[in-house]
A and B are shown apart, each in its own frame.
Chain A
Amino acid sequence: MGLPRDWKGFMGRLLSADLSEGSFAGQELDLKVVRLLLGGKGLGAYLLYSRLKPGVDPLSPGNMLLFLTGPLTGTIAPGSNRFCVVTKSPHTGTFLDAHCGGAFGPSIKYAGYDGTVIQGRAEEPCMLVVDGGGPRLMPAGDLWGMTTMACQAKLDRLLGPGYGKVVIGPAGERLSTIAGIFSGTRAAGRGGSGAVMGSKNLKAVCIKGSSRAIEVADPAEMRKACWTAHRMIRMNETTVRSMPVEGTCNILETVNEAGALPTRNFQAGRFEGAEALSGSRWREEMWVRDAACFGCSIGCSKISLVREGRFKGESTEGPDYETVWAFGPQCGNSDKSLIVHLEKLCDDYGIDTISAGNIVGFVMEMYERGMIRPEEIGGTKPSWGSPEAMVRMVEAMGSMDELGSRLSRGVRRLSEEHPGSSGFAMHAKGLELPAYAPRASKGMALAYATSDRGGCHLRGYPAMQELLGMRGGADPLETKGKAQLVIDSQDEIAVVDSCDICLFGTFGFTLREVYRMVNAATGYDFESAADLKMLGERIFNLTRLFNAREGFHRKDDTLPRRCLEEPMPSGPAKGHVVELDSMLNEYYSIRGWDENGSPTKPRIRRLGLDAMLGEAP
């Protein structure tokens, strides 16, 4: 397939694979679409909205599985390693985009594509291979059942060096809706994309970048803009000193001090074991080396090695802040080596650590309240911090045995089976909440409630101002002005997610640097950073339209009763609940959505979405 000409930044085409037919096609990018949405999340939102049948079962052949990059992926922009998985989530039923680092993203582009669009279902386990010999499906019966790490090692032996790879583990094969898609030691973790891949009988996608390079519209300006962005990272306290030294756990103690570190299933906001889990303690006791994703000058990744105790000798890349929280304060545990062991289990089986840990903590609270008996949970006694219970439950979820299949459905479905527990089933739209306590960080509460994939900390991150004090800070217990803060963050992150580059770079540089890099790479004439931000708003409205079409409205922009009605018992946020309604009203008003949370016609028109979609949605 000849490469389309005149594409800059982008490669100009997608690889379509129909697993039912076993056929492939190259498909040129639609210029009108990418000018309005760029790549990554934006392009994915468009493809899903325009091609996916409303109401489709996410685990049926009718769901699409997209692997997409953006115009900056694979270039010398900071953190240019990202790709995203876009699909309809089997865990929540919403739009899902899950981004991942490592080296797979650049491989896609160096092979001459901006992404792949996978449809249908293969009859037998298979893998998709793309290299100099063209795209093809190969049998993967031998690989089926292998852990993510073992499978990738075997693929290296089978195919030889130089292939970017994504794989699922046994959990995805068995359709766990908390299964993710793994690449190297990194993951597109949340929302169950691993189950979608498993439902298609697809074990792996392996892409070798062969003699293609990315051309940009203005190489001199691209060099200057990227150099500036890299320099800003080198000169920023967080990205040059804090994250490289303490990884993402650099914020743990600060969040704990602010009373926003969810403890024992969000019962409280401060954990007595927080100091033991701080970045500096991890560095002292557990980390042996730094690592970086492709194209990253921060190097926030750490390699852990357990030096003593029951799990001596175990090693993993990580754990990061969310995982430390999920198996730490969320479950009342402060033993770092146990966290390393549990992360390894999750990585090997291929499941999302955030959902897994949140689920374990939920079970622990049910047990504490006498709402669940040991017989119902494989004989374990899940008291807070119990290593046996934690290992048993994570093994169960990973292997998808009878217990695991039940637990993996998530806290929302579990709470339906245990009357009286829905008030503390900590999710939004079915996606388990991550490591920021809503009652102690009201902007994050609003972000969780309005995120397009459910309870997520990376679809709007006002914790940056509220808890970390950046850009002058914001009062975490105040609701005034939070709608605007959340909206600004959601729109900016959507831009970064469509470029597709790593969000952490934006701690060092601003959207203006992103706008310079995008213009230089693509040759498009975005007028300003504000112009680019509107692109982010457009993307966020498009995913909202998708969710609305799937039946999500105001009633779903909500949080568990614990957040809305139970006052925080202690800490800096003592006495607080989340005043969600008033924030939501302000949020819809600024967004130009109606009282039911749907984008109005004037806003759709203003964003150019009606013209692009060719219809009045």
Chain B
Amino acid sequence: MSGPGKEIRLSRIIDPSDARAVVIAADHGYMLGPIKGVIDLGRTIASVTEGGADGILVSPGQAAKIGYLFRGKDRPAMLVRADWTNAFRSKTYTLPSRHVQHRYMTSPRQAMALGADAIVIYFFVGYADDQEEAQHVSRVARYARECEEIGLPLIVEPIPLGERITGANYNELVGISIRMSAEIGADAIKAPYTNDVEMYRDVVRSAGIPILILGGAKSKTLRDALEVVEEALESGARGTVFGRNVVQAPDPGAMVRSICQVVHGRKSAREVTRPVAEGKMKLRVSRPRDCTGCHICEIACSAAHGAGYGLESARLFVRPSRDGFRPVVCTQCLKCVEACQRRALAVDSKLGCVVLDASKCNGCGDCAEACPVDVVRMDQGRPLFCDLCGGIPECEEWCPREVLASVRR
């Protein structure tokens, strides 16, 4: 990085004490119009500030209007979006873009005058037209040169999109476009995480400059969003620039706090969202109407117990119900334990699930007979019982509609 100006400003974003950053993107209005969460931008920014964000990304127009929210020693850094594109535009007022357009909107000097500690610009890789690609590169280079002159950090957001992008080359191009950005003069990167820790380690290493991962569309679950952060950090990324996942959360400040717990607090996604329950627990069908009959819970159960992918060895099953489908799980009613004449069944003292002592079992099947919901299967002469997977039930983990929930007893 060239010069103290850039170093000082970047240190307001990437905390020098742990070399990590939690930045929130609130520049969507530029490209998408007034989406939920950015309508009352002042309120969102106040909430996000309170949550502990290190930096907030806004458009130049908004920076001019709400810049006062960044005044003061304990306020987040301001990042300004300096360019515009049609690639992510709202589809409710116009067709999806057919042709990626990109324009320089505000200069680094102008951004700095607004109070920016950094600017963020796009870098697209994947144009079919070589001329357009060349023009795009030269725009990015112009920003880089001016940023150098005035000591303003340049954060580049490289994204593979365009006619040349395929399912096969996308991930590779993430790495390539990041390195190209560094070569042109970026000081830090905002980029997608490619969902593969090993591969992203190489991406981080070859970048040579800090990478903050973007969040994309609003994730349905907090757990998924934080897991992506956790993996990216494991690969060496330095933090996040989440937008919709934060500004569209019911409580943006709380969302920021959760992200900070992972990024600065070094907690895992699971620790933040689902600490392993202590003590006895059981499975509950908490949202039966949402079951789509996909059977994912059964195959996950089967595989988790070493039986490969199949339906014969699952400890739960999905059956048709009056208005759709419904998983049937062990309710720990313990009628099987009562029915066993050979005292082969007991209740686990830690979790409360039923446990089989195979040495005492003769495969008579009385337990299966006694089960009021018919969930006890016989497999090669021995009954199978739900063991709650040691405290983190696989069925609950994998269910795409959150139909199952484990609860403390």
User: How distant is A246 from chain B, measured CB to nearest CB, in Å?
Assistant: 13
Is the beta-carbon distance between A292 and B166 smaller than 8 angstroms?
A: no
CA distance A480 to B300 in the complex (A): 46
On whether A472 and B87 interact (CB within 8 A), knowing A74-B309, A292-B292, A512-B170, the answer reads yes
**B93-125 interface bits toward A, Cβ cutoff 8 Å, 1 = contact, 0 = none:** 001111110000000000000000000000010
Is the beta-carbon distance between A216 and B308 smaller than 8 angstroms?
A: yes
Is the beta-carbon distance between B400 and A299 smaller than 8 angstroms?
A: yes
On whether A110 and B400 interact (CB within 8 A), knowing A234-B221, A476-B98, the answer reads no
User: How distant is A20 from chain B, measured CB to nearest CB, in Å?
Assistant: 34
On whether A529 and B97 interact (CB within 8 A), knowing A210-B312, A230-B400, A492-B166, the answer reads no
Is the beta-carbon distance between A511 and B312 smaller than 8 angstroms?
A: no
Chain B binder among A21-29, A188-196, A462-470, A554-562: A462-470
Is the beta-carbon distance between A235 and B216 smaller than 8 angstroms?
A: yes
Is the beta-carbon distance between B166 and A469 smaller than 8 angstroms?
A: no
Is the beta-carbon distance between A76 and B398 smaller than 8 angstroms?
A: yes
On whether A488 and B166 interact (CB within 8 A), knowing A214-B310, A219-B303, A294-B295, the answer reads yes
Q: Looking at B91, B161, B171, B310, which has the most chain A CB atoms within 10 Å of its CB?
A: B310
Is the beta-carbon distance between B167 and A473 smaller than 8 angstroms?
A: no
Task: Assess whether B49 is interfacial by the CB under 8 Å rule.
Answer: no
Task: Assess whether A18 is interfacial by the CB under 8 Å rule.
Answer: no
Query: Which of A210, A234, A257, A528 interacts with B224 by CB under 8 Å?
Result: A234
Is the beta-carbon distance between A231 and B95 smaller than 8 angstroms?
A: no
Task: Assess whether B227 is interfacial by the CB under 8 Å rule.
Answer: yes
Task: Assess whether A295 is interfacial by the CB under 8 Å rule.
Answer: yes
Query: Which of A106, A235, A291 interacts with B293 by CB under 8 Å?
Result: A291
**B288-313 interface bits toward A, Cβ cutoff 8 Å, 1 = contact, 0 = none:** 00001111100110110001111111
Query: Which of A216, A297, A492 interacts with B296 by CB under 8 Å?
Result: A297
Is the beta-carbon distance between B310 and A76 smaller than 8 angstroms?
A: no
Is the beta-carbon distance between A529 and B307 smaller than 8 angstroms?
A: no
Is the beta-carbon distance between B98 and A466 smaller than 8 angstroms?
A: yes
For window 234-263 of A, CB contacts with B under 8 Å fall at 234-237, 240-241, 254, 257-258
- What is the total number of residues of chain B having a CB less than 8 Å from a CB of chain A? 57
Task: Assess whether A51 is interfacial by the CB under 8 Å rule.
Answer: no
Is the beta-carbon distance between A469 and B98 smaller than 8 angstroms?
A: yes
State which size class the interface on A falls in. Answer: 35 or more
For A485, give the chain B residue with the smallest CB separation. Answer: B163
Task: Assess whether A223 is interfacial by the CB under 8 Å rule.
Answer: yes
User: How distant is B30 from chain A, measured CB to nearest CB, in Å?
Assistant: 18
Is the beta-carbon distance between A473 and B87 smaller than 8 angstroms?
A: yes
Task: Assess whether B128 is interfacial by the CB under 8 Å rule.
Answer: yes
Is the beta-carbon distance between A211 and B292 smaller than 8 angstroms?
A: no
For B292, give the chain A residue with the smallest CB separation. Answer: A292
For A476, give the chain B residue with the smallest CB separation. Answer: B98
Is the beta-carbon distance between A254 and B95 smaller than 8 angstroms?
A: yes
Is the beta-carbon distance between A235 and B292 smaller than 8 angstroms?
A: no
| Cβ contacts under 8 Å, A240 to chain B | 217, 220
Interface residues of chain B, those whose CB is within 8 Å of chain A, are 87, 91, 95-100, 124, 126, 128, 161-172, 194-196, 216-217, 219-221, 224-225, 227-228, 292-296, 299-300, 302-303, 307-313, 323-324, 379, 398, 400-401
Q: List 26 A-B contacts (CB under 8 A).
A: A211-B310, A212-B310, A213-B307, A213-B308, A231-B227, A232-B195, A234-B219, A234-B220, A234-B224, A254-B91, A257-B95, A291-B293, A471-B165, A472-B97, A472-B100, A472-B124, A472-B163, A473-B87, A473-B99, A480-B128, A488-B167, A514-B167, A528-B168, A528-B172, A529-B168, A529-B171
Closest 7 CB pairs of A and B: A469-B96, A213-B310, A472-B161, A297-B400, A213-B308, A292-B292, A511-B167
